[in-house]
Amino acid sequence: MSRVAIVGSGAVGCYYGARLAEAGHEVHFLMRRDYAVVAARGLRILSKDGDLHLERPHVARDSAAIGPVDWVICALKATGIEDARALVAPCVGASTRILVLMNGLGLEDRFAEWFGAERVFGGLAFTCINRGEPGTVHHIDYGPVTIGHLQDDPAEVHAGLALWAGAKVETVRAPSLLAGRWTKLCWNVPFNGLAVTAGGITTDRILADPALREAVTTLILEVAAAGNADLAAHGQTVRLDGPAIARNMVAATDAMAAYRPSTMIDFVEGLPMEVAAIFEEPLRRASALGVATPLLALVTGQMRALNARGR
């Protein structure tokens, strides 16, 4: 059993931390907003894979109170990346591994600068998890987590998957973390982007509008093309099959319940959105590599302007 620190105990961090605790790991949740509620009443998961109530989870207001662990799972919002180093550092010992369970491109590179690339993993949660009332998380649909290692070291990827072996979480191996990140962007760019720029709508309404449905596919093809150029630039041989990804992701999202992507919730609630990691960094790489991504550019500009409202 491992000692695990969840840094960033939002909906995603709480959900996966709870599943690890359920499997017997010693899981410590770093909490700010919900500390008092969870300390008093525990953490409640309402999930299609079975509900769960952790009556007395380990909660901490401060990473130093947790100290070094086997695994840090960093599930901060990407907008908080500049705070991540200070929040994670007290939990990092000589043999600590760090799983970056966040949205967007380039975040693992920051952790590698701070803590060394050999201990950095990326987790890609293709899942629908939303916060409920404080201390409650709704796991709505889907659920596999793709796990990769920043250096794509097979033994390390194996260790990354092993953590989840006894937990009620389906995991998938990412032979290339970079390819996994770009694949995840193939969903986040169109669905997070259009859910916001069409005024705060759910995924089903995006796909019900013929023009937005067409834009989803076009955006996926652009992101896949940019991803393939980036993979080539990194000397990797794996490539994304854009048309197949578009077909599969549209079909999968059609089959999902109406979903509010996290960025759309941030938008509706007036919170900072993950524009840099999900939109600007992919666009920056596409432009640097000479890949034409006109729809990505448009949505990035819209997201940037919307993110600046009232700030």
Reported residue count of the chain is 311
- Cβ at position 80, least distance to its own copies in Å: 23
* Closest to 66 measured CA to CA, from 12, 33, 25, 29: 29
Q: Does 305 bind its own copies (CB under 8 A)?
A: yes
Cβ proximity to its own copies: between 123 and 282 the closer is: 282
Q: 184 an active-site residue?
A: yes
Count of residues that interact with its own copies, criterion CB under 8 A: 27
200: left (phi over 0), alpha (psi -120 to 50) or beta: left
Tell which positions 44-103 bind its own copies, by CB under 8 A. Answer: none
Residue 293 corresponds to which amino acid?
Answer: T
Q: Return d(Cα 228, Cα 221) in angstroms, integer.
A: 10
Tell which positions 126-145 bind its own copies, by CB under 8 A. Answer: none
What mask of x and - would describe binding to its own copies in positions 206 to 245, judged by CB under 8 A?
A: ---xxxxxxx--x---------------------------
Contact 240, 246 (CB under 8 A): no
- Which position has the token pair 């009620």? 168
Contact 74, 102 (CB under 8 A): yes
Q: Where does this chain touch its own copies (CB under 8 A) — which range of 4-12, 82-90, 239-247, 302-310?
A: 302-310
* Residue 247 CB neighbours (<10 A): 13
Instruction: Annotate 136-165 with DSSP letters as a single string.
Output: EEEEEEEEEEEEEETT--HHHHHHHHHTTT
- Cβ at position 273, least distance to its own copies in Å: 12
Q: HSE on the CB side for 246, CA within 13 Å?
A: 17
Cβ proximity to its own copies: between 52 and 221 the closer is: 221
Cβ proximity to its own copies: between 89 and 292 the closer is: 292
Tell which positions 272-301 bind its own copies, by CB under 8 A. Answer: 283, 294-295, 297-301
* Residue 64 CB neighbours (<10 A): 10
Q: Return d(Cα 267, Cα 275) in angstroms, integer.
A: 11
Cβ proximity to its own copies: between 119 and 285 the closer is: 285
Cβ proximity to its own copies: between 173 and 213 the closer is: 213
- Cβ at position 280, least distance to its own copies in Å: 9
Tell which positions 174-213 bind its own copies, by CB under 8 A. Answer: 194, 197-199, 201, 205, 209-213
Interface ranges with its own copies (CB under 8 A): 194, 197-199, 201, 205, 209-215, 218, 283, 294-295, 297-302, 304-306, 309
Q: Which residues are catalytic?
A: 184
